[in-house]
Amino acid sequence: MKTMRAKVIAGTILSAFVTLAIAPAAYARTVGAWAGNPLTSSRSACYSESAGAVQSTIATGCSGEWEVNLPIDASGSFTVTFTAKNNAGAIGTVSCAAFAVAPNGTYTSTSNVAASTTSFATYSLSSISVTSGGNLYIACFGLGQGTVGTIGW
């Protein structure tokens, strides 16, 4: 009986140790691109929404980029993804880049990644580091050429 109780106690201690030693899982976040805002002099009327995705209305006087703030809980390295598609017959492409902005206003960015198909596909930007107290954004360009759907990080 004592050996059985000892085995149960040892198993319980081992189980508790393993539970504490394993890091909690990181949770990915996603948001529809429509959660963002136009930059520069573009008006919200220059863009349209469909199922959370955003595209330009291509109205006269509309230009610029679309930016989405990506909330983070702590500093670290992030890989931002986006879904996008180009319009059939478009003369350009939709592209996006991620930006990490430090509390003092300095920033770094990833290279632009352009959509390469007329069907929605997922594109990954290179990893970007956000300092403590900093912010993470994605900016998308060329929305008159296609649509940006979901942003993930």
- Single pTM value for the model: 0.79
Q: Residue 20 has what pLDDT?
A: 40
The model's confidence at residue 3, banded by pLDDT at 50, 70 and 90, is low
The label of the residue with tokens 């003092």 reads: 104
Bridge partners, 138 (sequence order) = 68, 98
Determine the average pLDDT of the residues in 129-144: 95
For 36-81, what is each residue's pLDDT tens digit? 988 876 677 788 999 999 998 877 777 778 999 999 999 999 999 9
Helix (H) or strand (E) holding 108: strand 107-109
Query: What is the model's pLDDT at position 22?
Result: 47
pLDDT at 103: 95
pLDDT value of residue 27: 61
Nearest-angstrom CA–CA distance, 90 and 74: 39
Domains, the chain:
27-152 (2.60.120.260)
In this prediction, what percent of the chain has a pLDDT beyond 90?
63
Q: What is the pLDDT of residue 1?
A: 53
Alpha helices in the chain (DSSP H): 2-21
Q: Mean pLDDT throughout 102-125?
A: 96
pLDDT at 32 over 90: yes
Q: Is the pLDDT of residue 145 over 50?
A: yes
Give residue 42's pLDDT: 64
